[in-house]
Amino acid sequence: MRKRTKVSVGVVAVVVAAALVAGSVVILRRNDRGSDPVASSQDPTVPVAKTDLVETQQIDGTLGYAGTVSVETDRNSIVTWLPQPGDTITRGQHVYDGDNQPVPLLYGKLPFWRDLYDGVADGPDVQILEQNLQKLGYGGGLTVDDRFTAATTAAVRKWQKARHAERTGRVKVGDVVVLPGAVRVAEVKAKLGTRAAGEVLTATGIRKQVTVDLPATKSALAVRGSKVTVGLPDGKNASGKVVTVGTTAKAPPNKDDGGDKTPTLPVVIALDDPAVTGALDGAPVTVDFRGTVHKGVLAVPVNALLALAEGGFGVQAVAGDGTKRIVVVELGAFADGRVEIRGNGLSAGMKVTVPAT
């Protein structure tokens, strides 16, 4: 797991304290002139940069798959085949087998609640069936609408023949599973050789996403369409964007155990390239949300800071002739290992030392 360092806007003391522990901020006492060398002559120098700093807030999240659905049946048939967790099932492929007959997946927003056959009343379930028959290649001469016609019967028979099922031209309730799209098997509940009744399996969508319970006090960080960086368990980073921001805050779990009681908002992040996550599922990740942008500020690496023994902070400026002097600075924003500095005598391009640690 990569090291997680959370930097909140304005919490300068926490950042500097962490730097002190890490040994990256030198503590020194200035003399009256403030010009004696206080760092090794071997210390490298960096120029003060005029740049834009973007503050980030790092929040924990979870990498997984979109949505969860339960596949149930009341066929009361003997289960003769089941998929394995992690399998992907697409249109036309069987979700499970009952009595040695495949139960295929069709795409649609409504489940079939009745048997479908020539003469059944018009309805949206008929249209869903015809749409799927056409997509599967059995729609020749078929008009897709909400009417079950002789052409629909012929298309069903062709489909049944290809599946080695009885060619009845009728689709019974339970003969198919209708879901909005392709699914990934999460958990198999039924067992081979037992009667299929109730829950057969649970599944998710096939699209990977990151979910974050964002503290409601930080809701301004999550703007739909905004870019984020996701830190993966193997230390790699993945880019993504916010696609959904919940509008109803929820209370944190176990709020009576003394933990954080801040309400949270659910945030969903889509990854630009889900393949970079490999086989990870249900993995803890960190999400860097972009915050305030500080434009045209003077900035140096955090480890260029000198913590003055008498209080405050400074940087050691190096003149062209090698003369060194301490410049007292005020700290501003922290971002990407750099810190905004303000103070008399500072200018872009001037060299400051980065003390060796």
Verify that 253 and 146 share a domain, yes or no.
Answer: no
Residue at a domain's end among 265, 289, 313:
289
CATH number at residue 46: 2.40.420.20
Verify that 269 and 341 share a domain, yes or no.
Answer: no
Q: Computed from CA positions of residues 234, 237, 241, 247, in that sequence, does the dihedral angle turn out positive or negative?
A: positive
Verify that 199 and 130 share a domain, yes or no.
Answer: yes
Stated pTM of the model: 0.67
Verify that 279 and 300 share a domain, yes or no.
Answer: no
Considering the domain boundaries, does residue 3 fall inside one? no
Considering the domain boundaries, does residue 275 fall inside one? yes
Verify that 83 and 196 share a domain, yes or no.
Answer: yes
> Would strands 49-65 and 88-89 be described as parallel, antiparallel, or unpaired?
unpaired
Which has the higher per-residue pLDDT, 323 or 15?
Answer: 323
CB neighbour list of residue 311: distance below 8 Å, 6 or more residues apart: none
Provide the β-strand partners of residue 244.
268
Verify that 264 and 337 share a domain, yes or no.
Answer: no
Considering the domain boundaries, does residue 344 fall inside one? yes
Considering the domain boundaries, does residue 4 fall inside one? no
Considering the domain boundaries, does residue 345 fall inside one? yes
Verify that 332 and 235 share a domain, yes or no.
Answer: no
Number of C-beta neighbours around residue 281 at 10 A: 16
Verify that 110 and 98 share a domain, yes or no.
Answer: yes
Considering the domain boundaries, does residue 2 fall inside one? no
Residue at a domain's end among 175, 204, 233:
204
Q: Which amino acid is at 115?
A: D
pLDDT in the model for residue 1: 35
Which has the higher per-residue pLDDT, 180 or 260?
Answer: 180
pLDDT tens digits, 104-113: 999 999 999 9
pLDDT in the model for residue 7: 35
Considering the domain boundaries, does residue 1 fall inside one? no
Verify that 47 and 152 share a domain, yes or no.
Answer: no
Question: Domain residues for 335?
Answer: 12-56+293-353
Residue identified by tokens 């200035």 is 30
pLDDT at 29 over 50: no
CATH number at residue 249: 2.40.30.170
Verify that 298 and 261 share a domain, yes or no.
Answer: no
Residue at a domain's end among 289, 311, 328:
289
pLDDT in the model for residue 28: 52
CATH number at residue 187: 1.10.101.10
Which DSSP state fits 254? Answer: T
Number of domains making up the chain: 3
Verify that 26 and 85 share a domain, yes or no.
Answer: no
- The Cα 226–Cα 224 span in angstroms is 6
pLDDT at 40 over 60: no
pLDDT tens digits, 10-22: 334 434 444 443 3
Verify that 175 and 125 share a domain, yes or no.
Answer: yes
